[in-house]
Amino acid sequence: EAGVTQSPTHLIKTRGQQATLRCSPISGHTSVYWYQQALGLGLQFLLWYDEGEERNRGNFPPRFSGRQFPNYSSELNVNALELEDSALYLCASSRGQSDTQYFGPGTRLTVL
């Protein structure tokens, strides 16, 4: 069974630009979660999508947004990039709303 996949592996942007990160969940999983792992800040919950709807979001500004497509894949968009957005962004998926989360390898975003 293929795991959670994320693309791209690395992304380099400059301040003020927009970044789009993509995630494909494990087959059969309907929930997708996004986390930010920034140096010194640990792993922070960003967003949760289930059945195409945003179910919960963490304490992040509105310029962090996303969506979930009918095939359950997901996209995270970060607008007006700031230097502090540099981090590893991890996507996870689960079979149901309260099920165990399985993580992808992450996208490393660098903002210059």
Give the nearest distance from C-beta 98 to other proteins in angstroms.
6
Please, which residue, 33 or 64, has the CB nearer to other proteins? 33
CA-to-CA distance for 89 and 76, rounded, in angstroms? 9
Please, which residue, 19 or 93, has the CB nearer to other proteins? 93
The residues of the shown chain that bind other proteins, judged by CB under 8 A, are 4, 6, 31, 33, 35, 42-43, 45, 48, 50, 55-56, 58, 90, 92, 97-98, 100-106
CA-to-CA distance for 110 and 112, rounded, in angstroms? 6
Please, which residue, 36 or 111, has the CB nearer to other proteins? 36
Q: What Cα–Cα distance (Å) separates residue 23 from each residue in 3, 40, 82, 83, 88? A: 11, 24, 22, 23, 13
- At 91, list the tokens: 């996507």
